[in-house]
Amino acid sequence: MLKTFKIGGVHPEENKFSADQPAEVLDFSKQVIIPLSQSLGAPSKAIVEKGDLIKVGQLIAKGESFISSNIHSSVSGKVLKVDQVLDQSGYRRPAIFINVDGDEWIEGIDRSSEIKKEITLTKEEIVKKVHELGIVGLGGATFPSHVKLMVPEGKKAEVLIINGVECEPYLTADHRLMLENGEEVLIGTSILMKGLGVNRAIIGIENNKTDAIANLAKLALNFDGIEIETLKVQYPQGGEKQLIDTVINRQVPSGKLPIEVGAVVNNVGTAFAVYEAVQKNKPLIERTVTVTGKGVSKPGNYKVRIGTSINTLIEKVGGLPENTGKIVSGGPMMGKALNSIDVPVVKGTSGVLLFEEEEARRIEPTNCIRCGKCITVCPMGLEPVLIAQYAESEMWEEVEAERAMDCIECGSCQYTCPAARPLLDYIRLGKFKVGQIIRIRSKK
């Protein structure tokens, strides 16, 4: 029996159409827009101005607080302006607009394809490099990676878990990375191990990527302390807490971080970015993005410079199909619906999904039939139906008591509900309100 997490879970249709498409380098467009909020935490502060000439890899915005990250230019050219732009959040937020001119890189970045295996940097230097070069978690949450490498006082990291699960349907970017850049991923993993001071790493991969598993397993023979673990295909296997539960059989307590049970989790994409930063001195300026959908003629995976318009990606797969009804950034279970095709690709963009008109519309909700299916599938052991009802009746205390804050917003409940109740909408509202209440309470 393959390993999986112990509570709940669903198995949505996988629809990984682009699994066999090698990641292709996308030509960059005439203009890129680089948002200043690209990671969890405080937005970065722009250090360039209108008219500045910049090169690829140049630092253009600084993360000033502990939880924030540096941003580098993904292109060379001239800064057009620093202005508000409609980004993936659906809000207008500050960004740096750059008119592209040529492809000139700053000194010191190793652009050769040679693989550098020997890790010469010390533990401290690794953390510093990861911080300086703006590496963030590429699995979706975009948590600044240097923060994860700094184990808090009194805690001890025992094992590094690399998330190669890619449990979201449709997405194949991580899959391609593990196939095409397996060695770099493993070196990146070794670097992270050194940065954390652990001698054991486990890479968890779902069983629907057997070629990637075989590739990494073969390569891992040449690395110390890295194990490849084949996992059952079960959503949300890639949820941080679920993955830890699966591979090391420990459950992170409510409201606590993985380090509580001695684990640190990083995505395979992050491991690759760490490799590039530490071994090649390359900041995080591009990433692999899956562009796909049922109506898309040529679904594919693309290596994209950060700041490229999503529209450019869509053109690449044959343009927006006539009957497109929804565009999602990320996977279908947790991704965000976009309200424009002109928003830029950011560090956290793992995929662009085009939904046809009829898939885009939600099913009309009917009365809850109290089947309890939402409870059965919730991977956090919550009662979504109850939380949603309390939130609907604005009973925030009850929402909190029912542990709404534990909800990882995986969407399994709403996905499963036969009455198509908008459970997660209400749970999100509940979490938002409870979050406010908690903040007020802690101020008192």
Partner 1 sequence: MNLLTVSGSPHVHGDNSTKKIMYGVAFAMIPTLLVSVYFFGLDAIRVTLLSVFACMLFEWIIQKYLIKGPVTITDGSAIISGILLAFNVPSNIPTWIIIIGAFVTIGIAKMSFGGLGKNPFNPALVGRVFLLISFPVQMTSWPKPSALFNSLADAVTGPTPLGHLKEELKVGRTVQDILENGTSWTVDGINYIYKIPDYMDQLMGNLGGSLGEISALALILGGIYMLMRKIISWHIPVSFIGSVIIFTGILWVVNPDIYVNPGFHLITGGLMLGAIFMATDMVSSPMSFKGQLIFGLGCGVLTVIIRIWGAYPEGVSFAILIMNAFVPLINRSIKPKRFGEVAR
Instruction: Tell me if 384 contacts ligand SF4 by CB under 6 A.
Output: yes
Q: Helix or strand or coil: residue 256? A: coil
Place of tokens 């046809």: 356
Q: The tokens of 404 are what?
A: 């709404």
Least CB distance to partner 1 at residue 273 (A): 25
Instruction: Tell me if 429 contacts ligand SF4 by CB under 6 A.
Output: no
Least CB distance to ligand SF4 at residue 420 (A): 8
195 φ, ψ (degrees, to nearest 5): -60, -35
Residue whose CB is less far from ligand SF4, 418 or 435: 418
Q: Which of residues 34-63 bind partner 1 (CB under 8 A)?
A: none
Cβ atoms 380, 406 nearer than 8 A: yes
Q: Could you give the string, one character per residue 329-368, with x where binding to ligand SF4 holds by CB under 6 A and - elsewhere? A: ---------------------------------------x
Exactly one of 84, 222, 339, 393 binds partner 1 (CB under 8 A); which one?
339
Cβ atoms 158, 95 nearer than 8 A: no
Instruction: Tell me if 395 contacts partner 1 by CB under 8 A.
Output: no
Interatomic CA distance for residues 428 and 158, integer angstroms:
33
Q: Could you give the string, one character per residue 84-123, with x where binding to partner 1 holds by CB under 8 A and - elsewhere? A: ------x---------------------------------
Instruction: Tell me if 172 contacts partner 1 by CB under 8 A.
Output: no
Instruction: Tell me if 378 contacts ligand SF4 by CB under 6 A.
Output: yes
Interatomic CA distance for residues 244 and 248, integer angstroms:
6
Enumerate the H helices of 197-333 as residue ranges.
210-220, 240-248, 268-280, 310-316
Half-sphere exposure of 365 (CA within 13 A, CB side): 13
Residue whose CB is less far from ligand SF4, 161 or 382: 382
Instruction: Tell me if 435 contacts partner 1 by CB under 8 A.
Output: no
Q: Could you give the string, one character per residue 234-253, with x where binding to partner 1 holds by CB under 8 A and - elsewhere? A: -------x---x---xxxxx
Interatomic CA distance for residues 75 and 377, integer angstroms:
45
Instruction: Tell me if 417 contacts ligand SF4 by CB under 6 A.
Output: yes
Q: Helix or strand or coil: residue 261? A: helix
Q: Which of residues 219-258 bind ligand SF4 (CB under 6 A)?
A: none
Given ligand SF4, partner 1, none, residue 127, with its beta carbon under 5 to 8 Å by kind, binds none
Interatomic CA distance for residues 107 and 55, integer angstroms:
9
Instruction: Tell me if 167 contacts ligand SF4 by CB under 6 A.
Output: no
Instruction: Count Cβ atoms within 10 A of the Cβ of residue 394 and give its class: 0-12 exposed, 13-18 middle, 19 or more buried.
Output: exposed
Given partner 1, ligand SF4, none, residue 384, with its beta carbon under 5 to 8 Å by kind, binds ligand SF4
Exactly one of 125, 356, 409, 425 binds ligand SF4 (CB under 6 A); which one?
409
Instruction: Tell me if 401 contacts ligand SF4 by CB under 6 A.
Output: no
Interatomic CA distance for residues 343 and 334, integer angstroms:
18
Given ligand SF4, partner 1, none, residue 7, with its beta carbon under 5 to 8 Å by kind, binds partner 1
DSSP 243: H
Given partner 1, ligand SF4, none, residue 61, with its beta carbon under 5 to 8 Å by kind, binds none
Q: Could you give the string, one character per residue 196-235, with x where binding to partner 1 holds by CB under 8 A and - elsewhere? A: ----------------------------------------
Gyration radius of the chain over CA positions = 21
Instruction: Count Cβ atoms within 10 A of the Cβ of residue 22 and give its class: 0-12 exposed, 13-18 middle, 19 or more buried.
Output: exposed
Instruction: Tell me if 141 contacts partner 1 by CB under 8 A.
Output: no
Instruction: Tell me if 433 contacts partner 1 by CB under 8 A.
Output: no
265 φ, ψ (degrees, to nearest 5): -115, 130
Q: Which residues pair with 315 in a beta bridge?
A: none
Least CB distance to ligand SF4 at residue 147 (A): 24
DSSP 258: G
Q: The tokens of 70 are what?
A: 């540096």
Cβ atoms 294, 325 nearer than 8 A: no
Instruction: Tell me if 367 contacts partner 1 by CB under 8 A.
Output: yes
Residue whose CB is less far from partner 1, 284 or 317: 317
Instruction: Tell me if 439 contacts ligand SF4 by CB under 6 A.
Output: no
Between CA 435 and CA 195, with CA 149 as vertex, the angle to 5 degrees is 170
Exactly one of 167, 192, 353, 374 binds ligand SF4 (CB under 6 A); which one?
374
Q: The tokens of 3 are what?
A: 């390993």
Q: Which of residues 290-319 bind partner 1 (CB under 8 A)?
A: none
* Helix (H) / strand (E) containing 437: helix 423-443
Q: Which residues pair with 328 in a beta bridge?
A: 337, 353
Residue whose CB is less far from partner 1, 232 or 428: 428
Instruction: Tell me if 418 contacts partner 1 by CB under 8 A.
Output: yes
- Residues making contact with ligand SF4 (CB under 6 A): 368-374, 378-380, 382, 384-385, 407-413, 416-419, 421, 423-424, 427
